[in-house]
Amino acid sequence: MFGTLSRILPNSISRALIATYYKSQLIFAKESHSSQELIKMSGMSVQILPALSDNYMYLIIDNDTKEAAAVDPVDPDTLFSAVKSLNVNLTKVLTTHHHWDHAGGNKKVKDQMKDIVIYGGDKRVDAVTDIVKEGQIIQIGNLVAKCLETPCHTTGHICYVVGPAGSPEAVFTGDTLFIGGCGKFFEGDAKMMCDALIGKLSSLPDKTKVYCGHEYTVQNLKFAKLIEPNNPALSTKLEWAVQARSANKPTVPSTIGEEKSYNPFMRVIDENIQSSFGRSEAIGTMKDIRKKKDNTSPKLYM
C-alpha cells in the first residue's frame, strides 16, 4: 500500500498520509503486540520495545556505563518509560531509515532531550542531526556501533552492528533483514538487496543476534516453506515461532547463522534454490523470490 502511495503521490503528501495512518495506531492501540523482554549479552543488554501493530524499537544498553541508545523510537512515551525503569542514560538515537513507523518519534525525542544525537542515513530522517556513512563508528559508552549502508528498501537505509570493540554481538536491521524475510525493494533492486544480505550481513559472525524492525516472522516462514518445503531448520523455526506468538512473545532476536539456514532471501546462493527458479546465479534468484512473495496472497501461506 505505502509503496503505491509513494509512487503516485508527491513525496510530502504520501509521507503525511503514511504518518497519519501510524499515528492513529498509537492513539487507538489497546495493548502491545508482544511482551517487552530484556536480552543480556556480552557487555551489553537490549530491551525489546514493541510498538504500533508490529514494529520493534530497541534500547541498547552498555552494561558498564549504563549509557544507552534507542533504535527507531517511533513511540517515545514507551521509550522514556523504559529508560526510567532501567535507570539508564539515553544519549543517542540510531535510525535505520526515514519511514514514519521508524523515524516518526525522533522529533518528540529531540524536543524532550535537547542534547541527544540522532543518527540516520539521509536527510529524510526526521530530526536527524548526524548523517552517517559506511563504516562510521558510533560510541555508546564502551560499546561501538558500526554503520553499514544497506540501500534497497530505502536508499538511505542503515544497519547498525553493535558490541564491545572487536566483538560484534548484535545487528539492528530495520527493514532490510527480517526473521525469515527481507524488506520490499521500494527504492532499490535485487542486486542492491544481494549486496546488503549476501555481501554484508551474511559476512557477520554466525552468532551475531539479529534485531529486525517488524514482527513478521510467522508469515515470512510460512512463505519460505513454499520455497523449501523440506528444509528441517525452517520447519523447526516455524514451529517455535508459532508457539512464541501464541504466547505473545517476540520472535526477535534470531542470529545470522539461523537466517542463513532458513531465510530464502539469505539463501539465494544455494544451487538448489537457484535451480528451482531456473536460475544459476543469486541476483536473478533474489528478484524471483521477491516477486513471488509480492504476488502471492498471504491467504495461500497463512
33 belongs to the catalytic site: no
Do 152 and 5 reside in the same domain of the chain?
Answer: no
Do 61 and 120 reside in the same domain of the chain?
Answer: yes
115 belongs to the catalytic site: no
Number of domains observed in the structure of the chain? 2
Do 252 and 274 reside in the same domain of the chain?
Answer: yes
Q: What pLDDT, on a 0 to 100 scale, did the predictor assign at position 32?
A: 87
Do 210 and 271 reside in the same domain of the chain?
Answer: yes
98 belongs to the catalytic site: no
101 belongs to the catalytic site: yes
E strand map for the chain: 37-41, 44-51, 55-62, 67-71, 89-94, 117-120, 130-131, 137-140, 143-149, 158-164, 170-174, 177-178, 181-182, 209-212, 254-255
- Residue tagged active-site, from 62, 75, 98, 99: 99
Residue 226 in grid coordinates:
513454499
157 belongs to the catalytic site: no
This prediction has a pTM of 0.92
Do 121 and 71 reside in the same domain of the chain?
Answer: yes
Residue 293 predicted with pLDDT over 50: yes
Range of the domain at 234: 31-300
The CATH number linked to 273 is 3.60.15.10
122 belongs to the catalytic site: no
pLDDT per residue over 152-189, tens digit each? 999 999 999 999 999 999 999 999 999 999 999 999 99
Do 97 and 8 reside in the same domain of the chain?
Answer: no
Do 199 and 126 reside in the same domain of the chain?
Answer: yes
pLDDT per residue over 24-33, tens digit each? 555 455 578 9
**Who contacts 235 (Cβ-Cβ below 8 Å, separation ≥6)?**
225
pLDDT per residue over 75-129, tens digit each? 999 999 999 999 999 999 999 999 999 999 999 999 999 999 999 999 999 999 9
Do 223 and 255 reside in the same domain of the chain?
Answer: yes
Do 104 and 252 reside in the same domain of the chain?
Answer: yes
Do 202 and 258 reside in the same domain of the chain?
Answer: yes
